[in-house]
């Protein structure tokens, strides 16, 4: 059944490359949009993405590569967006074809800065896409480990379980296990919030706090996340599932975590600007911090970790002082 359905991947970064790799295992052809012409030429010629996960080899007969977002959208029934949330709005402005009747899955773990909405809500509100045609791909799954074919788990959330199953089936393989969920809003907020906690973990590490403190922070982080998500969308969910807690742990502890790396640089004394320039990849948590902080002004959940990260990144407060104060409010 999923063989007849067409998939497109939007984005040329590491996560988009990992998703394209997973889909190519199960599908005979996919459309793949990226802005970078030279990367497209390189993939066509050498079968590798020159900029991200360059160890992954593609069968180019399976790839319909394009630098025109409209071509990819027109081609596909299922469209998987995997570009940093900060660039999503600008990319969508280049779109002239309709998204009506298309099924949109977001693999973007962030908030759209222009609207302060998570990606699913952004598509629903800005483009009138019904929630049963919107889904989310989350879970503790770093692109670098997909490239290495290490066992990874995904959670596919959609209002329509049949569509979640189709995507799960299309992504699953020997080293990818995918399960489905109906908590679109909760899993997407969790995916966004955990990047903030990863920055906090990085800052703490950069300041010289050890593993003992980090474990306390992660324990407080998951409880803080639970409070925040409950305010946003109340439903029965187990916050200890891998889509929530698992994703938080891998992002907070992994050497592949760019949000943790970003926080680590801040903790070591880099300015926000210099840390961002040093990293070639976007740390989603930077944008998420501002959005989550602003949203929470309305929700009023108790979020000392988000508040601390916001104070360091956006109010220019001294990380050492802020985190010293934070240690007194955690338990």
What residues contact residue 210 under an 8 Å CB cut-off, 6+ apart? none
- Distance CA(249)–CA(245), nearest Å, equals 6
From residue 89, alpha-carbon distances to 32, 81, 83, 123, 142 in Å are 19, 12, 10, 10, 24
What residues form DSSP beta bridges with 267?
none
Host H or E run for residue 307? helix 304-314
- 318 burial class (0-12, 13-18, 19+ CB within 10 angstroms)? exposed
Is 194 assigned a catalytic role? yes
- Distance CA(184)–CA(243), nearest Å, equals 11
Contact between 170 and 19 under an 8 Å Cβ cutoff? The reply is no
Length of the chain counted residue by residue? 331
The catalytically annotated residue of 6, 21, 163, 194 is: 194
- Distance CA(182)–CA(165), nearest Å, equals 11
Host H or E run for residue 272? helix 272-278
Instruction: Give me 27's structure tokens.
Output: 């599908």
What residues contact residue 35 under an 8 Å CB cut-off, 6+ apart? 12, 67, 91
| φ and ψ of 16, to 5 deg | -60, -40
The C-alpha torsion from 76 through 18 and 111 to 250, rounded to 10°, is 150
**DSSP string computed for 53-115:** STT----GGGEEEES-HHHHHHH-SEEEE-S-HHHHHHHHHT--S--TT-EEEE---SEETTT
Residues annotated catalytic, as ranges: 194
């Amino acid at each position: 059944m999923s063989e007849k359905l067409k998939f497109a991947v939007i984005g040329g970064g590491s996560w988009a490359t990992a998703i394209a790799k997973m889909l190519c295992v199960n599908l005979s052809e996919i459309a793949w949009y990226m802005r970078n012409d030279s990367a497209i030429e390189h993939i066509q010629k050498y079968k590798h993405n020159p900029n991200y996960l360059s160890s992954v080899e593609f069968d180019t007969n399976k790839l319909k590569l394009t630098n025109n977002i409209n071509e990819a959208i027109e081609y596909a029934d299922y469209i998987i967006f995997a570009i940093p949330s900060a660039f999503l709005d600008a990319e969508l402005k280049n779109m002239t074809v309709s998204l009506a009747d298309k099924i949109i899955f977001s693999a973007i773990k962030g908030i759209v800065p222009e609207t302060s909405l998570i990606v699913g809500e952004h598509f629903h509100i800005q483009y009138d896409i019904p929630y049963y045609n919107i889904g989310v791909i989350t879970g503790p799954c770093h692109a670098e480990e997909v490239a290495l074919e290490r066992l990874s788990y995904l959670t596919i959330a959609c209002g329509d379980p049949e569509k979640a199953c189709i995507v799960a089936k299309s992504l699953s393989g020997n080293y990818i296990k995918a399960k489905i969920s109906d908590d679109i809003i909760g899993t997407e907020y969790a995916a966004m919030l955990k990047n903030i906690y990863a920055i906090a973990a990085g800052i703490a590490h950069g300041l010289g706090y050890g593993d003992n403190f980090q474990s306390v922070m992660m324990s407080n982080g998951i409880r803080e996340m639970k409070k925040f998500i409950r305010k946003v969308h109340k439903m029965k969910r187990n916050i200890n599932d891998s889509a929530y807690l698992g994703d938080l742990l891998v992002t907070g502890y992994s050497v592949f975590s760019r949000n943790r790396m970003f926080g680590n640089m801040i903790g070591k004394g880099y300015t926000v600007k210099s840390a961002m320039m040093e990293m070639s990849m976007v740390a989603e948590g930077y944008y998420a911090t501002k959005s989550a902080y602003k949203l929470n002004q309305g929700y009023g959940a108790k979020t000392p970790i988000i508040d601390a990260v916001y104070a360091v990144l956006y109010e220019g407060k001294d990380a050492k002082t802020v985190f010293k104060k934070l240690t007194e409010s955690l338990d």
